Amino acid sequence: MAPALPAIEGGRGKDGNSKPPLSTSKSGGGRPAEIATKGNSFSSSKKASPRPGSGGKVQLAPLASPRASPDAGHPDHLDKSADKYLQCVDMLVNGYVQSFVDFFYLTHKSESGGEGPPYSIEDEEGDSEGPLSDLKSVKSNLCRAEAAKRRGDSREVYTAYRSLGRQFEDGEDVKTAIYFYEKCLEVAKLTEDAELEAEANNDLGLAYEKIGNISTAITFHEQHLKISNGEEEEAAASSSPDKAAARAHLVEAYRTFANECEERGDLTQAVDFHTKCLEAAKMAMDVHAEALAHHRLGLALKKLGQITDAIDNQRKYLDMCASNNDGEGQGNACAAIAEALEESGDVQGAIKYLEQFLDVSQNSGHLAQQGNACRRLGAIYNKLGNFNTSVHYFEKNFEIARSIGDRVLIDNARADLGVARGNAKMGNFMELLSKNDIPTLLRWKNRRIAFASEDAS
């Protein structure tokens, strides 16, 4: 059983009610020290009067029980500022001093100099973003956590902090959610509760993903998986739900970080993280993620000039897509292999895979891929000087672009087709120029009549 959190000092009074620890001033004769906040102070300006029958001795009224409802007697029509004030006073009256401090920092612009939650739930005008019910929920969970600390109930403390984290995360205040998830992690580590520690690492990893800090997210996801695995991996437990979740999150985080590396031009690190993504996908037994990792790794390797390894990964991607009847994936694999082969100088091999690309896309009915395959085949044949075949594929690309209806695609396809047709007629045009056959050239210029000599016409 995990050890309990150390209880907060303060204990209970004669009436059995919990009392928070209060400091005393030397000059105040043991009177509770003044509790002050920036711009607000709660202190007694009047001397306490002795109660009847007390023998002339001053008696301090005990603090209300922490279990008393913090919302009792609050009118629903109070505005946010008044409600915020009463929430703060209510926490102090009920003895929740630390909850008051946290609540104050959360509901005011942070000028704490590093104390308390580092974020605020205030907007630019200083009004609370959430409705009154949200403020009450925040206060309730803060008091819940503090009361649990006093009892030494570590799981209840963890649960209250996690509820706060969820509330802020759902409200799109992820940075404040991270603050409470970190407190959850502290509680889990202090009590040596591996289950809660794994859960807290998972929450932190997902939260950091949301704010775009992928490298930090990876650190927490890796720790989550490490805790889930335990010190020694056991095959019987390798498919547990917690491990599966950790591996799935790692796959996504590795892929995202690898893509970020590619965008900033760090191809070596991109290859490293695409490789990690591939390994994580295999461990997670996610076939789709594994196939996609092969594809992304192949593309990165090609950019590094490692053509052989790039083609090998793309062929694995092609085989996996074929096994899963993924027509679009097969097309992407064929296109990537063709591009790598063409770059390596194997033009005929590139044509073979582009023709396969066209066949696969026709079977799957994917028009955009069909147009891409025809355009790339037309470009290759144009480079080879086979202009008639080039025109054939560019005409098909133009027809497909018109079917799709995309103006940019149509304009590009028309330009490609015009160049190909011009190249196809260039030989006859140059022949007429050499013969100085001006009448035939003029007929072609005016009516686009096919080239032929006057004798033939």
Res 347: pLDDT: 95
Q: Which residues contact 214 (CB under 8 A, 6 or more apart)?
A: 208, 253, 256, 257, 260
Residue 454 pLDDT > 50, yes or no? no
**Residue range 410-424, pLDDT digits in tens:** 999 999 999 888 888
Contact by Cβ (8 Å): 178, 204 = yes
Helix (H, G, I), strand (E, B) or coil at 317: helix
Closest CA to 13 of 81, 61, 72: 61
Angle at the Cα of 365 from the Cα atoms of 359 and 371, rounded to 5 degrees: 65
Does some domain include residue 294?
Answer: no
Residue 229 per-residue DSSP state: H
Where is 436: in which H helix or E strand?
none
Asked if the structure places residue 161 within a domain, the reply is yes
Residues 58-77 have a mean pLDDT of 42
The position carrying tokens 């694999």 is 333
Spatial distance between the Cα atoms of 267 and 159, rounded to a whole number of angstroms: 42
Residue 387 identity: F
**Residue range 303-320, pLDDT digits in tens:** 999 999 999 999 999 999
Domain final residue pick, 186, 211, 236: 211
In total, how many domains does the chain have? 2
Please, what is the end-to-end C-alpha distance for the chain in angstroms?
Answer: 102
Domain assignment present for residue 45? The answer is no
Residue 17's pLDDT band (boundaries 50, 70, 90)?
Answer: very low
Please tell me the pTM assigned to this model: 0.66
- Give the domain range for residue 205: 81-104+133-211
| 426 within a domain of the structure (yes/no) | yes
9 domain residue, yes or no: no
Contact 5, 191 (CB under 8 A): yes
Which position has the higher pLDDT, 436 or 370?
370
Distances in whole angstroms, Cα of residue 138 to Cα of each of 142, 149, 187, 397: 6, 17, 19, 60
Among 178, 211, 244, identify where a domain stops. 211
Whether residue 10 lies inside any domain: the answer is no
Q: Are 410 and 401 in contact (CB under 8 A)?
A: yes
Asked if the model's pLDDT at residue 34 lies above 80, the reply is: no
- Give the end of a domain, one of 211, 239, 261: 211
> pLDDT, tens digit, for every residue of 110-165?
444 445 455 544 443 444 444 345 888 888 899 999 999 999 999 999 999 999 99
Query: In this structure, is residue 437 part of a structural domain?
Result: yes
Give the pLDDT score at 106.
83
Per the domain annotation, does 99 fall within a domain?
yes
CATH number of residue 393's parent domain: 1.25.40.10
Per DSSP, 173 falls in state -
CATH of the domain at 201: 1.25.40
pLDDT of residue 434: 66
CB 301 within 8 A of CB 271: yes
